Structure 1
């Protein structure tokens, strides 16, 4: 039995097809949050308001760009409004160090690089998507997919992202799980060399 009754309760509630939003504009962070909570929990206006709360600027806000791409600070603030936290997963640890039963959802961020002949330019654009357990199965809820894709093995699915230098894995956990650090299995053998 999980020590996170809130996550268990939310997983049990969902017996239908997973909620999924398709990509529009640069709103992948919005889609990620809504797929994480399996409803239309947030709107673009909600995230724009969070940006304003963070910086006080409506125009040229450092937490979003003109097409709506939102940075990690907006996702953190939105999750806090729902009593959840975002934990950055240290790639030096093995995926097997995660206590999956205490993780509400996973969020992956993939940065893109642009190639111009031999020159590789780092982009400030990146893509957010979530992976969530619904019932007994995990689903990739990437807004670039036409529909959610069932994940056969969550460890195998996350592994390539954990070693890709252009990717970051984040864990969405309840505030209690964050405080207790119970999202992590305390085992020295789970750290990579």
Structure 2
């Protein structure tokens, strides 16, 4: 299920653990996080509740953004919600560790498509100079390309009202807003 493909670590989907897979794929480490660690984060976020609002009722995963943000903070990183009204050209890619997309996902029971609205976490990052889509539902990582191809890919993804993006940066980069070009003029990137 998990493995190295052309030197890229890629976890494949198990149960509802896409948040765990996205984090491990982002950090390119099998044990960057474990299910037990994410469950512990859920418990710490809502310690006195019987049904935890930060994961699925059955405890199979389906972690929310609060769990991802807390997990990233444990490693000195932050998830910055990206305002889709801004053009992606305002991003300083050299300061960004990677991206996590939250996208709509079909829910299937075998071959039957159920009318349930689900969400799915997807990691995108650069490995050895090339950006990859590390979606755990993919058999292998998909090559996005270099900076220009990444910006076009992100632009296309963010055209959907259903998709959200989080920029993953170090705490210092987040504190000083170094992930965003200060002198970038919004009108210059409008089409």
Contact 1:87–1:171 under 8 Å retained in 2: yes
Match of 1:135 in 2: 128
Contact 1:20–1:38 under 8 Å retained in 2: yes
Match of 1:80 in 2: 73
> Paired residue for 1:182, among 173, 178, 181?
178
Match of 1:80, SS state, is helix
Query: What RMSD in Å do the two structures reach over aligned CA positions?
Result: 2.0
Partners of 2:32 and 2:106 lie apart in 1 by 31
Q: How many residues align?
A: 171
> Paired residue for 2:9, among 5, 11, 19?
19
Segment drifting more, 71-80 vs 150-159 = 150-159
Partners of 1:23 and 1:69 lie apart in 2 by 12
Contact 2:86–2:186 under 8 Å retained in 1: no
Cα offset, 1:60, TM superposition = 1.6
Matching of residues 68-107 of structure 1 within 5 Å: 68-107=61-100
Partners of 1:174 and 1:23 lie apart in 2 by 26
Q: Give CA deviations for 1:103-128 in whole Å, capped at 9, x if unaligned.
A: 001000013478xxxxxx773x2000
Contact 1:112–1:122 under 8 Å retained in 2: no
Match of 1:159 in 2: 155
Match of 1:110 in 2: 103
List gaps (5 residues or longer) in structure 1.
1-15, 115-120
Identify the structure with bigger relative contact order (alpha carbons < 8 Å, sequence gap 6+): 1
List gaps (5 residues or longer) in structure 2.
1-5, 108-114
Query: Kindly tell me: are residues 21 and 58 of structure 1, through their superposed partners in 2, closer, same or farther at Cα, counting changes over 3 Å?
Result: farther
Q: Give CA deviations for 1:80-109 in whole Å, capped at 9, x if unaligned.
A: 000000001100000111110100010000
Higher strand share: 2
